[in-house]
Chains A and B, each alone.
Chain A
């Protein structure tokens, strides 16, 4: 079950401080990278909720993000719906689709669950690629960002948009914690540890899985709607399984089932991508080697490794303190 620790709070504060520093000091290119990190962080939080706390390793979260992006684009451009309403509609749609996928896949486990979600993702990709309404391979343009001029914020400014994404990410992180501490979130954790026992206790397991998958889908939908507003153009590539695969790499790289780890992973992945791709076109090889090293080290990602070291140190200190205290207690008892 999810627990906040001193280390996790510290990491969150450092990450937020780093993001704010970047948001207020960076130029255009730096702000674009920051926004990319923030949107990827939303997607990987969505994935960590189901994979890290429910054992549901999904390869359709990229497609869910794509559905959010396309739904927002079509509702706001072709249907002429106001962007805030279009965004709410896109999030609701991805939540609904996520719930259906979760309900259908809930009876499968392990590799079969992965394959089932991959199939759903590829179905969505193929449909968007072929259907004329979605613009086929050319994608869709003419997307506009939310209008927050009523509160004096112009989201067409890169800095404002990055800060807006940071605020949304903060809200999503808070919502993720609430989901994990809610009835379905805690039940899902029980299901991951022992599905048979949860069923024997009277839990309708498929329903809990579907509910949490739907909520996770909503978060992916927010990421999608913001991704569409970030680039102002979307293409079927957004729904490709490689996006889901990349999100999974980020979650594992950062630390599965920690919430904070995937945020670290998102920052590390995007920065590595941009820094390495400036040096070599084979930057994927370096990321691959890093991923192999993380997996082979048996640490739970970069943040998991830090947590393990930090946790061990705290335990040692507590044990030492207990040993020192015990003789005094014996003396005082005597």
Chain B
């Protein structure tokens, strides 16, 4: 469903990603691990088109999308959430979800209709709000909801475009343990045919949700395999997991 071939990006002499090759099958849930500065978010930015790689390619559902701009990749089914909330702050939760659903259904550019009142948009808004537990907050403005609920909305906005592949950059970043557990359930309850790639520092969540794990270090893939194998990898313990395993 999503594939990268030898994706390389450097800023001057600093190589941020080197020859990163990944292949995600339909419905696969893969977690990207790695220490700070490993190139995880830069990889995401290249996948969605916010950064242009120096070399290599990105393929979505068999199509080479490397040359496509951000909006076109999104319309082909690549959606992302951000590590820092990137929401429409002055608007309500319902309007946030509605804007995304309107883009997906083609109502965002239609002049002769209220895009948020269209039945197909309403249907997506209600369904996504249910999926990410936002029903009680639909009419609240973003500025009126808690940080944790905003993280849910961040994922919800990405989901409202009905993506083929959902990229999530640290969805539980900054939330407490209780909220983090809620995210376990939230992610596990998403449709099984949705392909998900996410960056996560919460190891419990990562090993609970992931089908496969990729570890980046200094921009290179140093591990690519099953969670069980990741737990037993000595290399991973040295570069990343040591403190977690010992704990």
| Cβ-based interface call for A316 (8 A) | no
Query: Considering the chains assembled together, what is the distance between the CA atoms of A189 and B89 in angstroms?
Result: 11
Determine the distance from Cα of A190 to Cα of B72 in the docked complex, in whole angstroms: 18
Q: Is the CB of B75 within 8 A of A193?
A: no
Interface of chain B residues 47 through 85 with chain A (CB within 8 A): 48, 50, 70-72, 74-75, 79-80, 82
Q: A187-B102, A190-B99 are in contact. Are A199 and B109 (CB under 8 A)?
A: no
Q: Are B161 and A182 in contact (CB-based, < 8 A)?
A: no
The reply to whether A194 and B87 contact each other, CB–CB distance below 8 Å, is yes
Q: Which residue of A lies closest to B100 (CB)?
A: A201
Closest CB-CB distance, A35 to chain B, in whole Å?
30
Residue of B nearest to A212 (CB): B111
A189 to B88, CA, bound (A): 9
Main secondary structure of the interface of A (DSSP, over half): helix
A203 to B79, CA, bound (A): 12
B110 and A182 within 8 A (CB): yes
**Set of chain A residues within 8 Å of B74, measured between Cβ atoms:** 199-202
Chain B residues whose C-beta falls within 8 Å of the C-beta of A201 in the assembled complex: 71, 74, 79, 99-100, 103-104, 157, 161
Nearest to B160 among chain A residues (CB) is A201
Q: Is A81 an interface residue (CB 8 A)?
A: no
Interface residues of A in 167-185 (CB under 8 A from B): 179, 181-184
Is A25's CB within 8 Å of the partner chain B?
A: no
* A196 to B100 alpha-carbon distance, docked (Å): 13
A203 contacts B114, C-beta separation under 8 Å: no
Q: Does A1 contact B (CB under 8 A)?
A: yes
B41 → A minimal CB distance (Å): 14
Quick check: is B4 within 8 A (CB to CB) of the other chain?
Answer: no
A201 CA / B160 CA spacing, docked (Å): 9
Q: Count A-B pairs with CB separation below 8 Å.
A: 96
The range of chain A's interface size is 20 to 34
Q: Which residue of B lies closest to A197 (CB)?
A: B86
Residue pair A203, B71 in contact (C-beta under 8 Å): yes
Given the known inter-chain contacts A193-B91, A211-B111, please indicate yes or no for A203 contacting B86, CB distance below 8 A.
no
Interface residues of A in 245-304 (CB under 8 A from B): none
* A46 on the B face (CB < 8 A): no
Pair B116/A186 contact, Cβ less than 8 Å: yes
Q: How far is the CA of A202 from the CA of B90 in the complex (A)?
A: 21
Interface string of B34-51 (1 = CB under 8 A from A): 000000000000001010
Contacts A183-B102, A201-B161, A208-B109 given; does A194 touch B86 at CB 8 Å:
yes
Cα–Cα, bound, A196→B45 (Å): 12
Q: Is the CB of A183 within 8 A of B86?
A: no
Contact B102 A193 (CB under 8 A): no
Listed by A's residue number, 14 A-B pairs whose Cβ atoms lie within 8 Å are: A1-B91, A182-B111, A183-B109, A183-B113, A184-B108, A186-B95, A190-B91, A198-B103, A199-B74, A202-B72, A202-B74, A204-B109, A205-B71, A207-B109
Interface residues of B (CB under 8 A from A): 48, 50, 70-72, 74-75, 79-80, 82, 86-91, 95, 98-100, 102-104, 107-116, 157, 161
Task: List 15 extra interface pairs beyond A190-B99, A207-B109, CB under 8 A.
Answer: A182-B110, A183-B107, A183-B110, A183-B115, A184-B111, A186-B95, A186-B98, A190-B88, A194-B88, A194-B89, A196-B86, A201-B71, A201-B103, A203-B108, A203-B109
